[in-house]
């Protein structure tokens, strides 16, 4: 089995050491590099080609949001202590594939890395709730009302397409597809692609499999 290659980006060496230790016991995950700033993460990602970047949100010398935006096409999961609405939305808009808090348990962190590597969206439940709340505040219509593009993306997810395949089908960047999925997850109050499709079908936002055209 080829291990999932992970790059850690955090300005605190002790945090990077802790994350490396948490992932060291996972036989299918390999930490291939560490960066102490956003620009360093961008440079290392270009050289190491990791499958997943675990990115701190706020770092001196260039924050994680700017780095995430520059790493379009690379799977970036934000891992931070900050869970404000503004921080979450900035990361989503930049194309992050997920948003986790640093109190995420070891097993959940490893599972999130695996899910992100598969092209899934990963959100800490608390973050999904905050994103849902922000959607309620920002939209006059019901928070679970998906846009046409979000519905289109979820319909393709339901057909088994990866983010990359959806991007090609819709002539979008992969980062944009991830943004639509994150927004859909936030509106539906779930934390992953499969759960989003299931919830969308339950609410009638998507037709049941037998009814799809």
Which residues, given as ranges, of the chain have pLDDT below 50? 139-143, 213
Query: Alpha-carbon distance 173 to 135, whole Å?
Result: 23
DSSP 8-class letter at 3: P
pLDDT of res. 141: 45
Question: Domains in the chain, please, with CATH?
Answer: 4-124 (3.40.50.2300), 131-204 (1.10.10.10)
Instruction: Tokens 């499999």: give the residue.
Output: 209
**Helix, strand, or coil (residue 107):** helix
Query: At 14, which helix (H) or strand (E)?
Result: helix 13-24
Q: For residue 186, what is the enclosing H or E element?
A: helix 174-188
- What do you get for the CA distance between the two ends of the chain, in Å? 38
Q: Residue 136's pLDDT is what?
A: 52
For 18, 24, 25, 56, 189, the CA distances from 107, given in Å and listed in that order, are 14, 12, 10, 19, 22
Tell me what pLDDT residue 107 has. Answer: 94
In this predicted structure, what is the pLDDT of residue 210? 55
CA 73 to chain centre: 12
| pLDDT given for residue 183 in this prediction | 86
Helical spans, DSSP H, in 53-147: 64-70, 85-94, 106-117, 125-138
pTM beyond cutoff 0.85: no
């Amino acid at each position: 089995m080829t291990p999932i290659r992970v790059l850690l980006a955090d300005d605190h060496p002790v945090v990077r050491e802790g994350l490396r230790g948490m992932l060291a016991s996972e036989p299918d995950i390999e930490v291939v590099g560490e960066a102490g700033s956003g620009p360093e993460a961008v440079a290392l990602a270009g050289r190491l080609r990791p499958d997943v970047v675990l990115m701190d949100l706020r770092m001196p010398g260039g924050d994680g949001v700017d780095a995430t935006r520059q790493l379009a096409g690379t799977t970036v999961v934000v891992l931070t202590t900050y869970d404000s609405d503004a921080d979450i939305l900035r990361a989503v808009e930049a194309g992050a594939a997920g948003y986790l808090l640093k109190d995420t348990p070891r097993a959940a962190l490893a599972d999130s890395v695996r899910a992100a590597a598969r092209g899934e969206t990963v959100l800490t439940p608390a973050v999904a709730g905050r994103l849902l709340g922000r959607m309620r505040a920002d939209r006059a219509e019901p928070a679970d009302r998906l846009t046409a593009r979000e519905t289109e993306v979820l319909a393709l997810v339901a057909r088994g397409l990866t983010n990359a395949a959806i991007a090609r089908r819709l002539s979008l960047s992969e980062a944009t597809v991830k943004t639509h999925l994150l927004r859909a997850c936030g509106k539906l109050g779930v934390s992953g692609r499969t759960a989003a499709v299931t919830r969308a079908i339950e609410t009638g936002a998507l037709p049941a499999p037998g009814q799809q055209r």
